[in-house]
Structure 1
């Protein structure tokens, strides 16, 4: 079984949209800057947190030269790790790892990501929410990036563009489809697991 995660696929903007994302996340009780250190925390290759100014982090994310992992903060002791990666097909992927969070904190992260997916001008392809860890984050790349097959096991929910949602529905009977905001459709089991 994989770890609990939320994976957000969106088109790449001409410039980083970190500042806008920070505002949306703040409305959901999640901050980019550490409450005590007063800086964003970027994880180095050893997993150590390195303080960085938000402006510098935004600039580095805009360069898209390499994957980057950061922490978002509920409090000085509670964080969610966010791994940024970029695909050559013009897609930015953020994977939020939810392990160690309580269900209420997971809900805050999910709400923040869904709100940002609608609020930001950059189109979202899909948001995969897998609190139970029934799939692996990379399992969703084929479908979302290359019009391939959906993951073999359906997670808690998926919000996706219509063509992605329809492909999932073809392979996963028993899902409910609801039109959401921002041109996304929410898929979830008709009978929650």
Structure 2
């Protein structure tokens, strides 16, 4: 089973953008509502409660995911009635957020289906994207990916499967300048080749 993650760094979304992303995920088989109960749940993140599931309506969740009055929001997406994908929208700057998709607890086929689905959504939103980190095994979980994607001189001790940053970040980062990369506008892409 995987302990990995997929981080998508993007500009903030208004309600229509949140709906567009959720709809695109659902088209790819990643559902907001639990397939059996149709429940849509957010996950509390303190300070009064940690990890509690609270049922909300789709409209409520869409509004919450604009992050107008909060720094982050945790919720569940579903691959099937037994496999969820813990997801977090979290502000990383005044003009950006990271959407964190947890791949932990998934079998290989589920993990690859989730990565494929999220990748297609990110590709459709590529113009607003300023970073991507995919780590199937979660080996780089302790890395300061926020810092690196935002342009700080973070040392990459262990490479993820995929790292994508804006060209100006790659140009200023000594380590990123010295390794093989592909330019896939508007991002520079680094791939480790791991896929197990």
Fold in common (TM above 0.5): yes
Give the match for residue 101 of structure 2.
Answer: 96
Aligned mates of 2:58, 2:50 — CA distance in 1: 21
* Structure 1 segment 62-141 matched on structure 2, within 5 A: 62=66, 63-120=68-125, 123-136=128-141, 139-141=144-146
TM-score (norm 2): 0.82
* Structure 1 segment 131-170 matched on structure 2, within 5 A: 131-136=136-141, 139-166=144-171, 170=174
Contact kept, 8 Å, 2:90 with 2:97, in 1: the verdict is yes
Task: Report the CA distance shift for 1:128/1:138 in structure 2 as closer, same or farther (over 3 A).
Answer: same
Task: Report the CA distance shift for 1:95/1:150 in structure 2 as closer, same or farther (over 3 A).
Answer: farther
TM-score (norm 1): 0.83
Contact kept, 8 Å, 2:5 with 2:103, in 1: the verdict is yes
Aligned mates of 2:150, 2:177 — CA distance in 1: 22
Q: Which runs of 4+ in 1 moved over 6 A?
A: none
Contact kept, 8 Å, 1:66 with 1:85, in 2: the verdict is yes
- Of residues 184, 187, 190, the one that matches 1:187 is 190
- Of residues 50, 62, 65, the one that matches 2:54 is 50
Q: Which moved more, 1:50-59 or 1:13-22?
A: 13-22
Q: Which moved more, 1:66-75 or 1:171-180?
A: 171-180
Contact kept, 8 Å, 1:177 with 1:187, in 2: the verdict is yes
Structure 2 unmatched ranges of 5 or more = none
Task: Report the CA distance shift for 1:160/1:121 in structure 2 as closer, same or farther (over 3 A).
Answer: closer
